[in-house]
Structure 1
Amino acid sequence: MSVNRTIAVAQGKGGVGKTSLVCNVAGLAAAAGSRVLIVDLDQQGNVARDLGYKPDSGEELLTSLITGAPLPLLVGVRDRLDVVAGGPALGDLAAVMTGRAQRGAGDLGDVLERKLSDVASDYDLIVLDTPPGDRIVVTAALAASRAVVIPTRSDEASLDGVTRIAERFMEVRARNPHLRLAGVVLFAISSRTTRLERDVRRSLEGVLGDAAPVFDTRIRHLDSAAADARRRGLLVHELEQAAIGDRVARIDALRQGSTPTGGLYARDSSGLAGDYANLAQEILTRVVQLEQEMATVS
């Protein structure tokens, strides 16, 4: 069983834009009026950098998952956007939960589903950020989700990571028949790259039996905007407002005869912001479509 409208974002390789996708899509959904929860299941805890809150140890989340304590919610990280923070302590999670399962207790998927069920009525959307190399945690996230989104870059290692997640997906489907593949996101590439899409489809074909859906929107490569976002703890669509403030500060500094410092690296991040806005709309539309298909089957 899975928690309604919970999306896992997963990849078998790190550094493919997974956390950026989680934060920007969730942030845009919240800005559009949805009540959204991000659960950071990664010991790196990079959601903190993307959203600009103080990095967390992950101890509270670890304690919640191994005891009866409620999920530790950071409320109001953005308007209508709450977070459960990850951190280094989650590195112990797989070993602890494996030991519990061997003693006859529920596995991590059971525990995570119960925890999310406790808060699900408070949110329109729950997004899970998963670690790239932790099979137990990724499997648990898929077991508790209705859909999975897989980001990938163009290199062979990233495509191999897509295949690993596709294999996890097929394994978990026996346990969670509600789970669906929402789609694959092509990240940090040119919009004119057609060979990559063909390779992604071919890579997944052997695992899934047919070509996996690939979202039309591709997230363009713009390192300067990505660096600005994490340096400032801002989402990409928030950078435009920051740029206005920087221009005012620059003019003031020049008037006073001083050298402006600390400005944004990107001159214009509107294109990247548009990519995320289009992708968020595609993902949410796809999730609704999957829900309607499930209702028809039921």
Structure 2
Amino acid sequence: MAEREASTSKAIERVVALANGKGGVGKTTTVANVGGYAALAGAKVLLVDLDPQGDLARDLGYEPQTGQELFNALITGTAPRVLTEVRENLDVIPGGQALEDIQGLMVSRAGRNDAGDFGDLLYAVLAPIAEAYDLILLDTPPGERTLVEGAFAVSTAVVIPTRSDDASLDGVERVARRFMAVRERNPALQLAGVVLFGVGPRSLRLERSVRHSLQEMLSDVAPVFNTRIRNLESASADARKKGLLFYELEGAATDAQKQRLKALRAGEKPAEEFFARSAGDLAEEYEQLTGEILRRLNQIESENL
């Protein structure tokens, strides 16, 4: 990957920020599973956790981090700590609570002419290592404008996950405003699309209504992806509890079911390790969504060229 030539842009190719102005809309889960599927397909993927909550650790099953190492790298412009091979072809720069201090850092540096903003700091950290990756996904927090706009400043595309409730749709509008605020600085930035997350399997009328509302809001700027991620609370709880991606959970749940049947045949009490009997639907949906996002990125790259 290479830096864009435009002097007003600090975008890095194949960097995608996931954002919504409201929490609980599936950003982190989407980052983890789309990144996981892209890696499974053979792409070299880096996930960057810019959320002070650091919840990407739950989805991927690595030890939660403080975020201090990423914070220090941002301050000094040095190489960040990268957790390598969290999955095959999948690396992670972990976040954590220390990133809450970014806003204060930016305020303290505001009077310095050469200080730069958070986008500049993030670019200095990511640009030297970006060439090693085919795809970089940034997980952003819902309420930190500094972190979100900084992520947009180095990205070529934004994906917006949203639930169907009004508060989540309001969050889409907030992200759209932040997107427009960064476009002047980073004209390479494109809105890749919106993902409907947590949709009830029988809520077809609601889904059609939400899609219509989003399409009116976005006009022709970006699509609402055809794939929507359904609401399967038991499988989602299992995935986070075990630190498994959904395609991994499918196999683990099948193995657990075999063990339960074996225990029953032996007259023993089976262990109840999983709430869900299967995660096949979610695994398939994330596979399809990954394909849609990657095709959209190819389209954006062609348009930018």
TM-score bracket, shorter-length normalisation:
over 0.9
Quote the offset at 1:97 in angstroms: 2.4
Query: Given the alignment, which residue of 248, 257, 266 partners 2:267?
Result: 257
> Aligned match of 1:173 in 177, 183, 196?
183
1:274 aligns to what SS in structure 2? helix
Q: Bigger shift: 246-255 or 72-81? A: 246-255
The answer as to 2:205 corresponding to 1:196 is no
Alignment correspondent of 1:89: 98
State the partner residue of 1:61: 70
TM alignment of 1:65-214, pairs within 5 A: 65-104=74-113, 105-190=115-200, 192=204, 193-205=207-219, 210=220, 212-214=222-224
Deviation at 1:249, TM superposition (A): 2.3
CA contact (8 A) 1:159 1:203 kept: no
Q: 1:106 is paired with a residue of what secondary structure?
A: coil
CA distance in 2, matches of 1:98, 1:125: 31
TM-score (norm 2): 0.92
1:223 corresponding residue in structure 2: 233
Question: Within the alignment, does 1:44 sit opposite 2:53 as a pair?
Answer: yes
CA shift digits 1:151-178 (9 cap, x unpaired): 1111110000000000000110000000
* AA matched with 1:202: E
Q: What are the equivalent positions in structure 2 for 1:2-21 lying under 5 Å apart? A: 2-21=11-30
1:58-110: CA deviation from partner (whole Å, max 9, x where unpaired):
11111111113311100010000000001111111121123223322011101
CA drift at 1:190: 4.4
Q: Distance in 2 between matches of 1:110 and 1:68?
A: 10
Letter in 2 for 1:272: L
Measure, in 2, the Cα distance between the counterparts of 1:109 and 1:215: 28
User: Per-residue deviation at 1:240?
Assistant: 1.4
What's the TM-score once normalised by structure 1's chain length? Answer: 0.94
State the number of aligned residues. Answer: 291
Deviation at 1:255, TM superposition (A): 4.4
Query: How much has 1:211 moved relative to structure 2?
Result: 5.4
Distance 2:227 2:111 in 1: 43
Cα distance between partner residues in 1 of 2:264 and 2:274 = 16
Structure 1 residue 115, shift from structure 2 partner: 1.1
Give the deviation of 1:259 after TM superposition.
1.4
> How far off its partner does 1:203 sit?
3.2
Deviation at 1:256, TM superposition (A): 4.4
Q: Aligned AA for 1:221?
A: N
Range 246-255 or range 4-13, more displaced: 246-255
Distance 1:125 1:73 in 2: 15
1:234 CA drift (Å): 0.3
Secondary structure of the residue aligned to 1:217 is: coil
Residue in 2 that maps onto 1:25: 34
Residues in 2 aligned to 1:235 and 1:200: alpha-carbon distance in whole angstroms? 28
Find 1:292's aligned residue among 274, 277, 302. Answer: 302
In structure 1, C-alpha distance between the alignment counterparts of 2:100 and 2:266, rounded to whole Å:
50
Identity of aligned residues (%): 54
- SS of 1:122's equivalent in the other structure is coil
Aligned residue type for 2:270: P
SS at match of 1:184: strand
Shift of 1:51: 0.2
> Contact 1:184/1:215 (CA < 8 Å) preserved in 2?
yes
- Equivalent pair of 1:5/1:126 in contact (CA under 8 Å): yes
Q: Does 1:269 align with 2:283?
A: no
Alpha-carbon distance between aligned partners in 1 of 2:167 and 2:70, rounded to the nearest angstrom: 30
Q: SS at the partner of 1:187?
A: strand
